[in-house]
Amino acid sequence: MPIQEEALARNVFGNYEILNVVGRGGMGIVYRAVDLALDRVVALKVLRGDLHTRPMLVARFQREAQAIAQLTHPNIVETYSTGVVDRIPYIAMELINGLPLSQVLKEERRLSWDRALALAEQVARALACAHEAQIIHRDIKPPNILIAENDHVYVTDFGLAKLLTLETQLTAEGARLGTPQYMSPEQCCGHDATPSSDLYSLGVVLFIMMTGRLPYRTTDKGELISAVICGHPLRLRECVRDIPEEVERLVAYLLEKDPKDRPVNAQSLCDAIARVREGKPLDPSAAEVTTVLSGLRQELQHPLECGAGATGLRRGFDAFLGSGSWARTRWGALSPGLRRVCAAIAVTAFGALAGWKAGTFLYPDPHVQWPVSGDRIVSRWRLPVTVAYFVRANPTVLFANLSLSEFVVTDIQWTNEYVTAFLNGAAGTPREGERAVCQISPGLRHAVLALPPVTPGPGVGRPTPVALAGSARFAQKGSALAGRFLLVCETPGSPDRVLAYTAGKTVLAPVFEWASDSDSEVSTVRAVDVSPDGNTVVAAVKTNQAWSLVRQRVGSTLSSESGGILATTGAPIPVAYYSPDGTCVAYVREIGPARRQLWLVRADGSERDGRMLAEGDISIGPQAFSPDGQQIAVGEAFAAGSVELRIIRVANGRVEVSLDAIQGAAWHPSGRFLVAAAPDTNGKMQFWALSVPGVENQEAAPPRQLTAHESGMLPLCAISPDGEWVAALPDQAGEPTIAFVNLAVGKNSV
């Protein structure tokens, strides 16, 4: 039983008598308790029992105690004491008889603009005190704002507070810090929070208090982050018509994308709120206020992609000239007429450039030869097209959010420094049945649509994007396939072909083509993998009812009479992978429902079919072989719903290691550990670095958690050829997202 539950059962925790639970948060439980030494009722916040063994979270909890203990202000909950009982840290605070703002809004839906401003001004005063003490709250939102008698406001829960005086950063463990609905653009982009970030969050809270809704049109988390970074917030008076214009401008002032365009500090915001409450305009002498006031209407009526707008153009022009620069001096010296002429020339040039740039996205590149169906071009997208934005959750985790909400990612594989993501159109959307391919580089923070959405067959030469190539098969730069990914080209009435693609063009005509014995037979190609040297491919080919595992050199045409057949079976072959040295091929036979066999055959054709290593509801991935080729990781599912990971010795088929509840394993190129999915303390699947006893003569080390996504992860990952990045898929709805974990940074270095 967790310590907190034991304490509650016996109504005692150190020197505190527990009365009842008053609230629960992500990290702690808050009790109403009596301080037996001072005979007073307090709010006792105690770290959750399932978290006290995690040093990073304990440190974060203690950091909250350190943060709020420094602050004394009428609008900040007072801290009485902090300490540790039975290794569990706690904070004893003033007990506030009030309701969270979130509960008030739930009951009243929205507040009058004058009451909302009165509450926000008190929050701003609390933030001014915190910022003066070099503390950033980083999580201003309605649940962390308490409303007591006479609308007295208290700011609480500094659990994510950042002390600017601290040298250590405690953000490596866990997902994105903060609440996406209230995070500033700079936080969403992965940059450090600043005092201005708290002011942006307060602007969102103000908008919600007055309208009962968020200032963006979407509630999907991925789309919301994109809107915060690139979109334009709603105008207050689009939602509530009777709000004064100055109030609308004040909120727009807080929701500016660039922190430099917001109030200079919390005290400045207090002054601005006070002016508006008194019916006065915002201070027109402040340069940033002048910008937001003059640009508000144009920016909202004529939105540009990624939030340029009138103020964005002005900032870009100012940045070009430079503050106090020679160019700015010369510009100011020009006559008004000459300045108008120069500005007209600049606008014309900018418009021509923008028109050309837009045209490159709307019209096909004449140098790119697209596959055609009859006389119709499959797609008129010009490639590559950037299709993702990146959000850094913490120093080791980067999210690539693909702006393709009607698609789902079905597989991910590495091609040199890029992850190749294969996507299918989601059911019930206009894209259902279509397929596409993206390539994403976490190091470059760059993502392109490498193959536009296409509908597989019927049609002549229509490419079908399916995951084919192994994870590190194109790593050798001398290979003809270096940096490419493979697609099946289905042609009705003819054998399938395999083509090698790069972003925007076909680079090799067919990599693989199977010539059947009879002109009437149609061949289906599946399960293609490329040898480590990039010179040969192995593929599973179905001709009528028989399946063959064949091997051939890249670019040649192989028939069933010309040799190269490694195995023949009546069972489908869904996957086949080369061993790291290219001497063997592991392949799977589907012999029945939830029944598969794992076989190993020599790649030189010196044996037929090979030998069976395992049987059951098994699965293997592209990185199932250990780097030395001596072990292979095999997953098996059981009827009861349990799963098991087995490490099998290739030489004799002996099971050397068996691990319960482990899925989606991939060997790290170093051979020192596996990356695999397993449940965390909340039962959510997360990825872990697992050392394996007996492998590389190492002893078992504690597993290291690599992800902490709130909705969990799908049991599918891919490791970059250099071993620096792990790519994985969050288990979430909405915008397709790929999580990248940098193994070479900080605590996740392994």
- Positions annotated as catalytic residues are 139
- Residue 446 structure tokens: 């760059």
Strand partners, 586: 577, 600
The dihedral through the CA atoms of 718, 740, 467, 634 has a sign that is positive
In three-state form (DSSP H/G/I as H, E/B as E, the rest C), the secondary structure along 238-286 is HHCCCCCHHHHHHHHHHCCCCHHHCCCCHHHHHHHHHHHHCCCCCCCCC
Query: CA torsion, points 479, 480, 483, 489, in degrees to nearest 10?
Result: -140
CA distance readout (Å), 217 to 180, 389, 493, 547: 14, 19, 48, 52
DSSP reduced 3-state for 337? helix
- Residue 210 structure tokens: 């007055």
Cα–Cα dist 60/273, whole Å? 33
Nearest to 153, CA basis, from 85, 227, 205: 205
Peptide bond into 593 cis (omega under 30): no
Q: Which amino acid is at 348?
A: T
- Unique residue bearing structure tokens 């609008």: 75
- Strands of the sheet containing 713-719, edge to edge, are 388-394, 397-402, 737-742, 725-730, 713-719
DSSP reduced 3-state for 111? coil
Q: How many CA atoms lie within 13 A of 102 on its CB side?
A: 7
Strand partners, 388: 402
Report yes or no: 263 and 253 within 8 Å, Cβ to Cβ.
Answer: yes
Strand partners, 587: 576, 599
Cα–Cα dist 680/556, whole Å? 49
The dihedral through the CA atoms of 305, 310, 312, 318 has a sign that is positive
Cα–Cα dist 521/408, whole Å? 34
Peptide bond into 495 cis (omega under 30): no
Q: Which amino acid is at 234?
A: L
Q: What is the DSSP string of 399-467?
A: EEEES-TTEEEEEEEEETTEEEEEEEEPTTSTTTT-EEEEEEETTTTEEEEEEEEE--SSSTTEEE---
CA distance readout (Å), 664 to 644, 676, 685, 702: 10, 5, 11, 19
- Unique residue bearing structure tokens 């609905």: 181
Neighbours of 161 (CB within 10 A): 21
Neighbours of 114 (CB within 10 A): 12
N- to C-terminal Cα separation, the chain: 33
Report yes or no: 698 and 711 within 8 Å, Cβ to Cβ.
Answer: no
- The H or E element spanning position 419 is strand 418-425
- Unique residue bearing structure tokens 């105008």: 235
Count of residues making up the chain: 750
Pairing, β 685-690 against β 704-705: antiparallel
Cβ-based neighbours of 520, under 8 Å, separated by 6 or more: none
- The H or E element spanning position 490 is strand 485-490
- Unique residue bearing structure tokens 């050199």: 553
Pairing, β 505-515 against β 557-559: parallel
Q: How many CA atoms lie within 13 A of 705 on its CB side?
A: 19
Cα–Cα dist 414/403, whole Å? 20
- Residue 334 structure tokens: 């020009």
- Residue 497 structure tokens: 């072909």
